[in-house]
Structure 1
Amino acid sequence: MLAVLIILVASIVAYANGANANFKGVASLFGSGTTSYRTALNWGNLTTAAGAVSAIFLAGHLLKAFSGKGLVEDSLISDPSFLLAVAIGAAATGSLATCLGFPVSSTHAHTGGLVGAGMVASPGGVNLVHLWSTFAMPLIFGPVVAILLGTLFYLLLRRLNLAPDHRTRTLDALHFLSAGAVGFARGMNDTPKIAALLVGVSFWTGEKGILLVAVAMTFGGLISARRVAETLSHKITDMNPGQGFTANLTTSLLVIAGSVYGLPLSTTHVSVGSLLGIGIITQQARWRTVIPILMAWVITVPCAAVLAALAYAVCRTAF
C-alpha cells in the first residue's frame, strides 16, 4: 500500500514539476514573439523529455544527493513513510505554486521536504553542514551568478551583433537551439531529484524510476503550463529575440554544468535570474511581478518542510 502511494505522489510531484517548469526554456520564444505558445510548448516538452532520459547516464550524482544520503540518517533513505512524506511536501508546494502562476523551484521544495520530514523523524539527525554545502549554497548563489552572467553575456553578444533587437534567420535558429538546450538541461537536472523519491520502491529504482518521472513530467508540461508560461513570458521583463537568446544561453550553460558536477541548481532561479539581469541592464524589469516571485522563493523551503513534517507525523502513525 505504501509503495503504491509513494509512486502515486512521486508522479504528482513530477506532473507539477512539468507544469511549473517545462516552459522555462521556451518562455523567451513566446515572450519575444518568435513563435506561438503551442510551438514553444511542444519544443519545450520534447527537449525536456530528452534531457530527462539522458539523466540515466549523466546525472547520477543528483540521484544520490536527493535520496537524502548524507543529509539525513541512512535508515530514513529507504523508509517508505519518510519518502512518502517528502513527496507529499514537494507535491503540495509545487502544485500550489503552479495554480497561482509562480515559477518556483522543485529543488527547493524537495530540499524542504527532506529537511522537514528528517527533523520530525530524527530531530538531531539532519546534517546542517551538508545542507549548506550541498544544497543551500548552490541554490542561493545560483540566481546571483545567473543575473551577473546574463548581464555580461548580453553586453558581449550585443557588441558582437549576435543579440540584435529584431528577428533574423540566424538568430531564430540560435534562439530555438538555446531554448532547447535549457529544456534539455532542465530535464537532466530535475528528473533524478524526483526519481530519488522512488529509491525505496525496488521495481522503480534507477532507470525505470527516471522514465516514470519523465513521462509524468511531460504530461504536466503539456496540460497545465499556461499560467506559469504567461508569468515567465510576459510579466518579468519585456524581451526581444536577442535578449531571449541571451537568457537561454546563460541558463543552459549554468544548469548543464550543475547537472554534470552534481550541484543542485534551480533551473527556475537561474532562468528568472538571467531574465532579470537583462531586465535590469535594459531598465525593463517588472518589479511588481519579480518581488512576489522572490517572496515565493523564500517561502518554498519552509512551506515544503512544514507540509512534509506534518505528513511524516501522520504516515508514521498510520503505517
Structure 2
Amino acid sequence: MATDTPSKPEPDPDEGPRDFETPDPQDKWWHLGFGGLLAICLVTFTLWSFGWVSDGTNRVLLITAIVFGVFMAFNIGGNDVANSFGTSVGSGTLTMKQALLVAAVFEVSGAVLAGGSVTDTVRSGIVDIQVVNQSPDDLVYIMMSALLGAALWLFLATRMGWPVSTTHAIIGGIVGAAVTMGLKTGLGGLEMVQWESIGQIALSWVLSPLLGGVVAFGIFWLIKRFILSPAQDDREEGHYALQTLVPIVAAVAAIILAGMLLVKGLSNLEVAVDPVVIAFLIAMIGIAVWAAVYVFAKSLKKKKFKKAAFILFSWMQVFTASVFAFSHGANDIANAVGPFAAVLDVFRTGRVGESAAVPLPILITFGIALLAGLWYIGRRVVSTVGKRITEIHPASGFSAELGAAGVVMLASVLGLPVSSTHILIGAVLGVGLVNKAANWRLMRPIALAWVLTLPAAAAVGSVGYLVLSAVA
C-alpha cells in the first residue's frame, strides 16, 4: 500500500512544482527540430544502405528492416534512457532539455566510441539458432521480427510509464521468432532455448531490485545521518559535514563510476590494459575528484546549508548521470544495433556469419533515434522513476544512481544475472524506504511488466516471423 507523502530531506528552497509528463507548449520548435532531424537521418541512412548492401537486395525488405531497427532504438530512448535520467530530472537537477543535451553528448559518444565495431548475430544468450541450419532469409525474418516484437512491447510499456528491460525484450523477440521458425520448418524448436538462462532471467527479477535497493538504502542512510541531519540543529556543523564528508563521498563515487566505465562501459573495445595501470588511474581520479569537491564545498560556505547541499549533490548527480549515459550508449544500444546489423550483413554478403560489422552510420542514426525517443515519449517513464515511486531530490537521486552503478559494476565482475533497469528501480525504492515514502502500490504493475516483457515480446516476434516469412 502506498505510504504517506514523501519527506524532503534536502529540497531546493527555490524549487517550484515539477511536471514531467506535460510538454511545454513553447517546445514546439524542439518537436519540429527533432522530427526533421530524425527524418533527414532516416532518409540519408536509407540511401547509404542502398550502396552498402548487394545489388540484388530486396529494397522493400531493407527499408522495412531500417524502420524496425530505428523504431527499436526510438523506444530504447523512450524507456531505457528515460529510466536512466529519471532520478536526475525528478530531483530537479536537470530539466528535460538538459537531460536531452547530456544524453546527446554521452549516449551518442558511448555508442560511437565504445559501442563496438562488430556484434554477435546468431546468439542472444538464451536461444542458439546455430542448432539448426537456418537460411540467410530465415535469419533476416527472425531478427526483423525480434526488433518489431521488442519495440512494440517497449512502446506499450513506455506509454504506461513502466520502466522495463530492453535486453529482456529483444531476447524475448528472438526467442519467439526463432522457435517459430524451427517449428514451422521442422528443423528444431524448443531445444534451441537454453532453459537455464530463463531461470537466470527470472532470478534477475528479484536479485536486481533487491541488490540495488539494499546498496542505495545504505548510501542514502549514511548521507542523511552524517551529512544532512547535523544541519537541522547547527549551521556550522552542517557546512563542516559538507566540507569534510561530501568530498570523501564524491571520491568513492568517482572510483565506483570509473570502475563501472572500465568494466562495463568500455568492455566492447577489447583493449588490453595492465590492471596496475587501471588501479593507478582510478586512484588518481578519486584523488582529483576529492580535491575538486573540497574546494567547491568551501566556496559555498556563505550560502544557506540547504542551498549549498542542493548545489553540491546536484553536480555530483550530473556526473553520475553522465557516466551512466556513456555506459548505456556503449552497451544497451546493441539491443537495436545487433539484430539490425545481422540483417544488414546478410543483405551485404548473402550468408549467415557469426558476427557482423557495425558501420558508423548505424551507430549515429540509431543514437539520434535514441534521443528522439527520450524527447517524444520518455516523459512518463521519467515521471515514474523521478516522482511516482518516491520523491527524489539531489542527495537521494545521487544515492540511487551511485548504488545502481556500484551494483552494476559488481554484478559485471561476478557474472551475476542482473538487469540495470531493475537495479535502478530497486535503488529508487531503497532511498524511498529511508524516507519511509516508497509507493509499493505502483510497483505491482511495474513488476508484472517485468515478468511479461520476455513472453510478450516473444509472442509478437512469433507472429512477426509468420507474417514476414509468408509475404516477403
Fold shared, TM-score > 0.5 on shorter chain: yes
Which residue matches 1:155? 221
CA contact (8 A) 1:165 1:242 kept: no
Range with greater deviation from structure 2 (309-318 or 118-127): 118-127
In 2 relative to 1, CA 210–256 (structure 1 residues): closer, same or farther, beyond 3 Å?
farther
In 2 relative to 1, CA 243–165 (structure 1 residues): closer, same or farther, beyond 3 Å?
farther
User: Aligned ranges for residues 20-39 of structure 1 at < 5 Å?
Assistant: 20-39=79-98
Give, in whole Å, the separation in 1 of the partners of 2:208 and 2:198: 14
Measure how far apart 1:142 and its partner are: 2.2
Which residue matches 2:358? 206
SS at match of 1:8: helix
Measure how far apart 1:23 and its partner are: 2.5
Give, in whole Å, the separation in 2 of the partners of 1:229 and 1:66: 34
Measure how far apart 1:76 and its partner are: 4.8
Range with greater deviation from structure 2 (208-217 or 104-113): 208-217
CA contact (8 A) 1:45 1:221 kept: no
Which residue matches 1:182? 324
SS at match of 1:285: coil
The total of aligned residue pairs comes to 316
Identity within the alignment, %: 26
Bigger Cα Rg: 2
In 2 relative to 1, CA 287–247 (structure 1 residues): closer, same or farther, beyond 3 Å?
same
Give, in whole Å, the separation in 1 of the partners of 2:370 and 2:413: 21
Which residue matches 2:471? 318
Measure how far apart 1:253 and its partner are: 3.4
In 2 relative to 1, CA 109–68 (structure 1 residues): closer, same or farther, beyond 3 Å?
same
Give, in whole Å, the separation in 1 of the partners of 2:334 and 2:442: 30
Paired letter, 1:68: S
Measure how far apart 1:140 and its partner are: 5.0
Which residue matches 1:68? 124
In 2 relative to 1, CA 244–310 (structure 1 residues): closer, same or farther, beyond 3 Å?
same
CA deviations on 1:129-183 (whole Å, 9 max, x unpaired) are 4534775555652222212221222234445534897634322221110121222
In 2 relative to 1, CA 278–90 (structure 1 residues): closer, same or farther, beyond 3 Å?
same
Which residue matches 1:131? 197
1:16 aligns to 2:75 (yes or no):
yes
CA contact (8 A) 2:165 2:421 kept: yes
Paired letter, 2:435: T
Which residue matches 1:141? 207
CA contact (8 A) 2:212 2:426 kept: yes
User: Aligned ranges for residues 222-261 of structure 1 at < 5 Å?
Assistant: 222-255=375-408
Give, in whole Å, the separation in 2 of the partners of 1:6 and 1:140: 35
In 2 relative to 1, CA 52–182 (structure 1 residues): closer, same or farther, beyond 3 Å?
same
Measure how far apart 1:71 and its partner are: 2.0
Measure how far apart 1:259 and its partner are: 6.8
CA contact (8 A) 1:52 1:210 kept: yes
In 2 relative to 1, CA 165–197 (structure 1 residues): closer, same or farther, beyond 3 Å?
farther
Which residue matches 1:172? 314
In 2 relative to 1, CA 23–73 (structure 1 residues): closer, same or farther, beyond 3 Å?
closer
Structure 1: segments with no counterpart, 5+ residues: none
Paired letter, 1:179: A
Paired letter, 2:312: T
CA contact (8 A) 2:175 2:193 kept: no
Give, in whole Å, the separation in 2 of the partners of 1:239 and 1:73: 44
CA deviations on 1:243-278 (whole Å, 9 max, x unpaired) are 100111122334456678887743321211110122
Give, in whole Å, the separation in 1 of the partners of 2:123 and 2:367: 18
Range with greater deviation from structure 2 (221-230 or 35-44): 35-44
TM-score for both structures, normalised by structure 1: 0.86
Measure how far apart 1:218 and its partner are: 1.8
CA deviations on 1:290-309 (whole Å, 9 max, x unpaired) are 22111111111111111111
1:292 aligns to 2:358 (yes or no):
no
SS at match of 1:103: coil
TM-score for both structures, normalised by structure 2: 0.60
